[in-house]
Amino acid sequence: MITLLDYGAGNVRSVINAVEKLGGSLKLVTKPEDILNAEKLIFPGVGNYINMIQILNQKKYIEPLREYLEADRPFFGICLGMQALFQGSEEDFSTNESLGFFKGRVERFKTDLAVPHIGWNGINIKQKSPLLAGVEHDARFYFVHSYHLVPEDPSVVLTTTTYDYEFVSSVQKGNVMGTQFHPEKSGKVGMQLLKNFIGSKDLHASGPMAIQGKGLAKRVIACLDVRSNDEGDLVVTKGDQYDVRDKGDVRNLGRPVSLAKRYYEEGADEITFLNITGFRDFPLKDMPMIKVLEETSKNVFVPLTIGGGIRDYTDSNGQGYSALDVAAQYFRSGADKISIGSDAVDVAQAYIATGEKTGKSAIEQISRVYGNQAVVISIDPKRAWVDSPEEAKGHHLIKSSEPGPEAQAYCWYQCTVQGGRQTRDLDAVALAVACEALGAGEILLNCIDRDGTNAGFDLDLINAVRNAVSIPVIASSGAGCEAHFSQVFEETNAEAALAAGIFHRKEVPIGAVKTHLAQRGIEVRQ
C-alpha cells in the first residue's frame, strides 16, 4: 500500500497511474494523520516552491512529515517533493518553513544554457542503492526544473547530472530518498525505479559507487492536432499550412489515444495534443479532450502537453472561469504542460504596449501556481515578405536565406491567432521575448508556411527566436525526413524538434529519426 501526498498542484495522476500499472494500491493523504499511518509515502511535486510550502503549512502536514522522516520510514520525494526535504529555496528566502530534513538549499541554475532544464538527461551514480537496481548506466530520465539542490552533506548524494555543470539529481539517507527527475515520466526506466521503491523491503544504500552517465538528449516530439470531424468524432488531423480539409472533409488520421500510445511505444520523448478548434469552444465543457488525457496517461509515461482554448471564459449563464481553472483541470487529467496560443498574442501585445505586468494573464497565473516549466507558448507565425528593412516597420527583420515569391530579400514573421485565421501586428520574436518575461517556460515554434510541406524546418525563424530567449525552443513544422531533424539540431540551438504528418502517415518512424541523429553524433534517448 502506497500513500500519496497530493497537495493540489502538478500532475499527480501520472504517479497514480504509474503505481497502479505496477500493481501497487494507493491511498491519498487527506488529513495529517494519514501521513503517520503510511507504510510508504510518495510525495510528487511540480511547480512553485512557495505555493507548495504554504499549502503544506496550511494543511498542517509539516509536523507529521518531520516525524515520519525522523523515524526513517520509506519516503520518496519527486522534484519539488524532494526539494521540500531541504532547508529552503532561493525561490523564497523569506518565510518558508520547509521540512529541513536535509541541510542545504535549493538554488536556481546559473548557466547560459536554457532554463528551465527540460528533457531527458543521464545520471552519474554515486552510491549503490536498491532504488537504482536494474537501471542501465546509460539510462536517461525526464527532468523539468529551474532550481536544483545544493546539499551541505555530500554523503546524501545518490546521483548527479550534468547540465553545463554537475548538479545533485537525487539524494538518499536511509529510507528517505528523492529525485529531481520524474520517474513517472521517464518511460520504462522510470517505472523500474518506482517498482524498486514500491517493492524493495530494504532500501538502504550500501556504499559508494562511481558510474558516469550520459548527457542531455535532444528531444523528438510527436504532435497530434485534434478536432471533431463533421460526424462529431474526435480525430487526429493534419493540415497543409493549417488547412486540415481535403475535398471538404476534415482529414482523419486516427484516434488520439491509440496514436499517442503508438508514439510512446515507438520512442517519442514527449507527446503534444493541440485542440485546434479550442478557440471556439469552452474546454471545460469539451470533455472529450479531458477524457483523451485521462486515457492516454494510463499507458503513456512520457510528458504530455495539451493546448487549445486555454484562456479566461464566461459561459452562457454569465459564470466566469479563469485560464487557471481550465489549466488545473488539464493538469488533474494527466497533462504535464499546457500550451497557450491565441491568448498569448493578446497578452503580449498588451504587455508590450504598456510595459506593465498585470499578474492576471493566463501565462502569469498558471506559471505562478504550476511553475514556468508548465507553460508552453505555441506560436503560429507566417512570413511577411518585404523589399527593404524599412517596410518591416520595426518588426524583427530577417535577411532571408531564400528569396521571397517576388524575389524579396527580407521578411519578418507575423503572429497569427485562431489557427492562422487572423494576423496581428506583432512578430514572433517579440512575442517569444514578451512571453518569457511574463513567465512562460518553453516555446513551441510552428511555422504556417512550412506546416505539412515536408520541406524541412524554417531555420531562419528558429534561429531568430532561439537567439532571443533563454528558455527552450521546440522547432516545429515542415519535417519531411530524418535529415531535417539533424539539420535543425546542427544549424540551430533548438532543444527539441516536433513533427506530425510524417509520423501519422508512417513515412518516417520515430526510431529511424533517433537512429539517424545518433549516427550524426547528436545525443538522443534510445
Cα–Cα distance, 310 to 363 (Å, whole number): 10
451 belongs to the binding site for ligand 1PR (CB under 6 A): yes
CA 421 to chain centre: 27
Cα–Cα distance, 161 to 169 (Å, whole number): 6
In eight-state DSSP terms, residue 48 is: -
Cα–Cα distance, 329 to 470 (Å, whole number): 29
Please say if 281 is a catalytic residue: no
Cβ-based nearer residue to ligand 1PR, 225 or 460: 225
In eight-state DSSP terms, residue 393 is: T
How long is the chain? Answer: 526
Please say if 79 is a catalytic residue: yes
Cβ-based nearer residue to ligand 1PR, 87 or 418: 418
Please say if 225 is a catalytic residue: yes
Please say if 484 is a catalytic residue: no
Q: Is 505 exposed, middle or buried (0-12, 13-18, 19+ CB in 10 A)?
A: exposed
> 491: alpha, beta or left, given left = phi > 0 and alpha = psi -120 to 50?
alpha
282 belongs to the binding site for ligand 1PR (CB under 6 A): no
Q: Which of 130, 187, 303, 341 binds ligand 1PR (CB under 6 A)?
A: 341
Residue type for position 27 = K
Cβ-based nearer residue to ligand 1PR, 4 or 443: 443
442 belongs to the binding site for ligand 1PR (CB under 6 A): no
* Parallel/antiparallel/unpaired status of strands 124-127 and 157-163: antiparallel
Active-site option among 182, 395, 396, 516: 182
To which residue does cell 520525494 refer?
Answer: 77
| Residue spans of alpha helices (H) in 467-509 | 482-491, 501-504
Q: Which of 293, 211, 301, 310 is nearest to 257 (CA)?
A: 293
239 belongs to the binding site for ligand 1PR (CB under 6 A): yes
Q: Which of 17, 179, 477, 492 binds ligand 1PR (CB under 6 A)?
A: 477
452 belongs to the binding site for ligand 1PR (CB under 6 A): yes
Q: Which stretch binds ligand 1PR (CB under 6 A): 5-13, 305-313, 384-392, 402-410?
A: 305-313
Cα–Cα distance, 224 to 272 (Å, whole number): 6
Q: Which stretch binds ligand 1PR (CB under 6 A): 193-201, 287-295, 403-411, 495-503?
A: 495-503
378 belongs to the binding site for ligand 1PR (CB under 6 A): yes
45 belongs to the binding site for ligand 1PR (CB under 6 A): no
340 belongs to the binding site for ligand 1PR (CB under 6 A): yes
**Minimum distance of ligand 1PR from residue 365's CB (angstroms):** 15
| Residues with active-site annotation | 79, 182, 184, 225, 380
Which residues would be at the binding site for ligand 1PR (CB under 6 A)?
A: 223, 225, 238-239, 242, 244, 274, 276, 278-279, 307-310, 339-343, 378, 380, 419, 446, 451-452, 476-479, 499-501
